[in-house]
Chains A and B, each alone.
Chain A
Amino acid sequence: MTTTTAQAAELAEPPGKGEAAIKTEGLRKTYKSSRGNVEAVRGIDLDIPAGEFFGLLGPNGAGKSTTIGMLTTLVAPTGGRAWVAGHDVVAGPVAVKRRIGVVTQNNTLDMQLTVAENLQFRSRFFGLPARVAARRADQLIDAFGLRDRRNAMADQLSGGQARRLLIARALVHQPDVLFLDEPTAGLDPQTRVNLWDILKVLHDQGQTILLTTHYMEEAEALCDRIAVVDHGRVLAEGTLEELKDNAGAVTVVTVRFEGALPADFAERTGLSAHPSVDRAEIEGDQVRVFSTDPEGVLGEVISLGTAQGLNVRDAAQLKPSLETVFLTLTGREYRE
């Protein structure tokens, strides 16, 4: 799914705009408070070409929303620089806002307006005359399957409907970059898949999208490229295949025993020396083995443990995936 040079050329934006839809250099945000400073984002570098579907993947609290906040001008960076659609987010926030559509994590629909009015007024905020705005609103309502809810107040929508309206509203002015902050958080599986389909169609039309998510499968299903973030830093970045390759395309074998393991379990039993074992970690009652050649490893770990008089409680084998990438990068379980 890599973007080839030919595609990149084809996707080139109108003159006056940079190659990159989003570019950041050492972007940083520290929240100061009386209880001490919180480093939400600690220097993030991104280079996202136009037309790409890019994902920021990380657990809650990784700094994804703060990053989106800075890129959409709602959070002031405390260090580094960022450009969106060729405009500096600090020096030219209005120029940036003209060219972006944002779906925030929270439901920011105007609850005092109807579905149609939400779209009409947003269109007018972006300079469309009232009649054009009304037609654009109807077009969006039809496309997003909200015809039945057209005159409902925004606070009467279901979670899925509200999310669709939020996305529709972000598209009224044909933004160069669409930002989606956790767009499917809290939605049921069916609604989530429907939203994915919408996003895929938008992407196929060349829409540049930056999405944050803490769902691994969402990043895998949608994104051309993914940056794995945690504690305000990018741990790894690339296509799904690149990420798996760079993390060694490892399989992670985890075995839990009944009772805590000695810290030198791997050495004492000779597990570390096993040819198929790249790395073995002991954490409480569990052994985690990273392996590029996992054939027979699970059985080996179990028999070694049993030989030590330990009973197996639970065993799992994770094939190379974003989850094993995350485990390899951070050495800890992915907490969704």
Chain B
Amino acid sequence: MATTFQSPRGSAGKNGTGRRGKNGAGKNGAPPAAAPSEAPSAEAIAALITNAPEPAPTTLKTFGAMMAREFRVLGRNAISTFMRSVMQPLLFVFVFSYVFPKIGSGFSAGGTAASAGNTSFSTILLPGLMASMFLMQGMFGTTMPLIMEFSWQRTIEDRALAPVPIWVLGLQKITAGAIQAFIGALIVFPIVLLVHAAGQAPSVHVTNWFLFALIMVASSTVTASLGLLLGTVMDPRKIQMVFAIVLLPATMLGCVYYPWSALHSIRWLQILVLINPMVYMSEGLRAVLTPSIGHMPVWAVLLALVGGTIVFATWGVRTFRNRVVA
């Protein structure tokens, strides 16, 4: 075998049987020769112990390796992940920004309903669809894998045996989910920008790139944290229900298709939707992307997104730990 390692422990034994070796006069004589072709060879197995690299894990290295694993899997599933991210916003803008204006439906007056003058509906949709993508990717990127890992074979045990505290594993799940959500939301951008009928282009004005990036990141982390929490507290058998009672209402009442300010005529609803994290993502993105539309103050958005990340992440890591360690 060409493989060689410098092994401080392995090279200790002068007689070549290695550390802890019971040496040549093996108690059972020679290990039985393996008969079937696929069967492992005794020498090669023995060498696994005598000739092994010295592991030197640190929390950072382990975290990095786990992220590398996520990217490997993400790369392998790139096409399906991409399709999942693209289809919803693509069909949405196609119907609302292209078909409806073309057929002259009253729906093109969405902007008027939002009391935003001549604003195209796609201007309202852009931040909204990005926000909805955050939530969807946060759920698909964090909750679904977790549910798989906790059910049936409990493959979570594999990762739980890595030499890091369990909370690090929880944070790693959030980070991985957040990156997926971030990429998903970015994909929406060109779609909304490009797919529309003539004169229906969204009006985008980014004045503060730093604030834009901050809101993008905070939106990613808040959805991924929420995804971790849901993935650890929900009964896997009821996941369909989660989608019905969380994802759907959060999207429909998340100020995706209308700005929050437009809800002033339904005051009770305007107050009620404030419990929905989606509202802050949509409104935050409106503030930095399409400031022409009335939006929530940025401080309120940041408070909700950053505060929500801290609350959901702490809570989620806690429930995650309780699920992993029985």
Contact = CB atoms under 8 A, between A and B. Distances in A.
A207 B20 contact: yes
A194 B36 contact: yes
B49 A205 contact: yes
Interface in A83-141: 93-94, 97-98, 100, 102, 104, 106-113, 117, 121-128, 130, 132, 135-136, 138-140
A102 B158 CA distance: 9
Contacts of B76: 112
Contact of B53 (A7, A100, A112, A132): A132
A202 interface: yes
A320 interface: no
Interface residues of B, number: 66
A135 B153 CA distance: 29
Nearest to B21: A206
A21 B52 CA distance: 20
B56 to A, nearest CB: 5
B158 A110 contact: yes
Nearest to B322: A76
Contacts of A50: 20
Given A97-B163, A202-B45, A11 B66 contact: no
A142 interface: yes
A127 B62 contact: yes
Contacts of B161: 72-74, 97, 100, 102
B68 interface: yes
B153 A139 contact: no
A200 B66 contact: no
Most chain A beta carbons < 10 A, residue from B53, B69, B165: B53
B39 A145 contact: yes
Contacts of B61: 124, 127
Contact of B154 (A75, A106, A172): A106
A174 interface: yes
A201 B46 contact: yes
A143 B40 contact: yes
A198 interface: yes
B55 interface: yes
B99 to A, nearest CB: 38
B19 interface: yes
B326 A204 contact: no
A249 to B, nearest CB: 23
A110 B1 contact: no
Interface stretch (B24-32, B183-191, B240-248, B308-316): B24-32
Contacts of A107: 153, 155
B5 interface: yes
A173 interface: yes
Contact of B39 (A98, A109, A194): A194
B141 interface: no
A141 B177 CA distance: 31
Interface in A202-246: 202, 204-207
B5 A132 contact: yes
B163 A113 contact: no
A200 B26 CA distance: 11
Contacts of B155: 107-111
A148 B40 CA distance: 12
A205 B23 CA distance: 8
A205 B18 contact: yes
A113 B22 contact: no
A121 to B, nearest CB: 5
Contact of B153 (A106, A112, A171): A106
A69 interface: yes
A287 B5 CA distance: 62
Given A11-B22, A136-B52, A206-B49, 11 more contacts: A100-B161, A104-B157, A106-B157, A124-B64, A125-B62, A139-B48, A142-B1, A143-B48, A144-B40, A201-B31, A201-B46
Lowest 4 CB-CB distances: which A-B pairs, in order? A206-B20, A127-B57, A124-B65, A143-B44
Interface of B: 1, 3, 5, 9, 17-22, 26-28, 31-32, 34, 36-42, 44-58, 61-62, 64-66, 68-69, 72-73, 76-77, 152-165, 324-326
24 contacts: A1-B27, A69-B326, A74-B161, A98-B57, A106-B152, A108-B155, A108-B158, A124-B61, A124-B65, A125-B57, A125-B66, A126-B57, A126-B163, A127-B163, A132-B53, A136-B53, A140-B48, A143-B41, A145-B41, A171-B48, A204-B26, A204-B27, A206-B22, A206-B49
Interface of A: 1, 7, 10-11, 13-14, 31, 50-51, 69, 72-76, 93-94, 97-98, 100, 102, 104, 106-113, 117, 121-128, 130, 132, 135-136, 138-140, 142-145, 148, 164, 171-174, 190, 194, 197-198, 200-202, 204-207
